Amino acid sequence: MLNEVILKISDSSELESLLAQISNNFNWVIAGNQDIQEYYYDTFDWRLFNQNLCLIANNNMLSLSEYNTNSRISSEACKKPKRKYFWNSFRDKLLRDELKVLLQHRALLKICKCDKNTELFRLLNEDDKTIAKLSFEKLTISNDLNIKFDSCIIRIQGIRGYSKEFKMIKNIVASAGLKRVDDNYLFFIFSHLGRVPGKYSSKIKINLDAEMTTAESIRLILMKLADIIIESEDGIKQDIDIEFLHDYRVSVRKGRVILSELKNIIPVHIRKELKEIFAELGERTNNLRDLDVYLLKKSTYESYLPDVLKKELSPLFDNIRKERLQAFKKLKSFLISEENKNMILQMECLLEEDFTFTNSSEGDKPVLHQSKLAIYKRCKSILKIGRRIKSNSKDEQLHDLRLECKKLRYLLELFASLFPPKEIDFLVSQLKMIQDNLGDFNDLSVQQDKMKMYLDSYLGKSKSEINLASVIGGLITSLHQRNQVVRNEFLEIFKQFDSKKNNKIIISLFSS
């Protein structure tokens, strides 16, 4: 931070030594003593930390601040810190708006608790004006896993208008040889608890070498995907937020795609067994994810109805929540089972095997060459299918194209490090527009079928059932109308993707 220095020290003797050195230039006085309890929050994938933000609960307040400037963005009263928060847990509008963009469906988790005993000092100039504040903090930091450590820091904060004096203090600190941790204070706190800030990401971060063999590259990618699957399990079992399941499923699908698209690269038995494992893991999670999506769509469904009918949907979503609870219990039971543990162990063992043993020489070829072939093949397939689709084409053709686009998107993300970032990012953004359209079309089709199923189950004769059935019927009509709008938008969206500019990028990046 620009106007703050934080020093890691071993005990109070180093404080006494520093104060003695400061006394050569400035006076100091004791300003008091205080005990504070703080709670630090972030998402599992460090969304606040990665944006230089921190959310801290202390003194009955929850505050979101910019870490690098110590500038508070917003805060609100908080009687008792909770285990987790979502963006809509907060009352303050600025806090909600800021966190909604960052968090989406992710939960803020209580990373740790910090008990501080603080001795306060004021540093004075010859006119007895306070030119800086110094605090000696004894920290006891712990988390819910019973990991605990003690530490001591000195925190020196500059005062506006006394930058010259603060610079002198920083020079004194430098000459004292004490370790500064102000540039990575949160890292210092979290890492002592076994958490490395910024380490986890659902996005693949592997810098592949263009000359690396394709077999080894695939093994590295699959190992990273396996890590995400394993790391997501606890969050799914604890039902922390729906993004754990989403990350899990995306990694499973990416694994299936890379095994299918580069099928002649690795030994047949490894490929076959891994595909079976990924297929099973994907199948086990389908129902819970579908129900999560329906619950997320609640406000959208309500927007399709007149205000007077919105409350009539409540029984439907009550039933969906009950279904979800049963689906969650079933998936949790599987995740803690010996069957799943053995499957994960088998996956890890397979990924430790030698991927280069194959009857084909394809696995020994440079990954740049093989990834180009796979991506270019998928691009040509998408363009071929998309150009055949007309306004009267069957829905199945759009479904096939959606799957092709998903495969291409995964390939582009997995091998992104081999290509120029600017061109890849642009191509992904263009592809995403088609995916959003086709995804909406598919979702609306599936949701109509699901609502029809619910409609069939509400054919009772009670007044509430009749009311709900009529509302669901109206919802199905609205979903169908929206489905047609989305479909009509497809041709123009695909035309933008099939532009000369995009075709030129595809050819230049992948055809050679």
Using 50, 70 and 90 to split pLDDT, how confident is the model at 11?
confident
Complete domains list, the chain, with CATH: 4-191 (2.40.320), 201-365 (1.40.20.10), 366-512 (1.40.20.10)
Which tokens sit at 428? 């992904």
How many Å apart are CA 469 and CA 31, to the nearest integer? 69
How many Å apart are CA 107 and CA 423, to the nearest integer? 33
E strand or H helix at 76: strand 71-77
How many Å apart are CA 342 and CA 346, to the nearest integer? 6
Using 50, 70 and 90 to split pLDDT, how confident is the model at 194?
confident
Using 50, 70 and 90 to split pLDDT, how confident is the model at 135?
very high
pLDDT at 1: 47
Span of 198-207, 282-291, 381-390 with lowest mean pLDDT? 198-207
Span of 158-172, 248-262, 286-300, 346-360 with lowest mean pLDDT? 346-360
Q: Tell how many helices (H) and how many strands (E) occur in the chain.
A: 16, 10
N-to-C CA span, the chain: 49
Assess whether pLDDT exceeds 90 at residue 441.
Answer: yes
Q: Please name which of 14, 1, 7 lies closest in space to residue 154, comparing C-alpha atoms.
A: 7
**Distance (Å) of CA 158 to CA 1, 165, 175, 180, 211:** 10, 8, 18, 16, 52
How many Å apart are CA 372 and CA 507, to the nearest integer? 10
- The string of DSSP letters for 208-230 reads --TTSBHHHHHHHHHHHHHHHHH
Assess whether pLDDT exceeds 50 at residue 429.
Answer: yes
Assess whether pLDDT exceeds 80 at residue 277.
Answer: yes
Using 50, 70 and 90 to split pLDDT, how confident is the model at 467?
confident
Mean per-residue pLDDT for 155-159? 92
pLDDT for 306-344, tens place per residue? 888 888 888 889 999 999 999 999 999 999 999 999 999
Span of 115-124, 178-187, 393-402 with lowest mean pLDDT? 178-187
Mean model confidence pLDDT for the chain = 91
Q: Please name which of 430, 511, 434, 447 lies closest in space to residue 482, comparing C-alpha atoms.
A: 447
DSSP letter (8 states) at residue 418: G
Higher-confidence residue of 345 and 454: namely 345
E strand or H helix at 123: strand 108-124
Assess whether pLDDT exceeds 60 at residue 2.
Answer: no
CB 32 within 8 A of CB 175: no
pLDDT at 328: 98
**Region of 478 on the Ramachandran plot (φ > 0 left; ψ -120 to 50 alpha; else beta):** alpha
Using 50, 70 and 90 to split pLDDT, how confident is the model at 359?
low
Using 50, 70 and 90 to split pLDDT, how confident is the model at 164?
very high
**Distance (Å) of CA 336 to CA 33, 341, 343, 344, 401:** 48, 7, 12, 11, 36
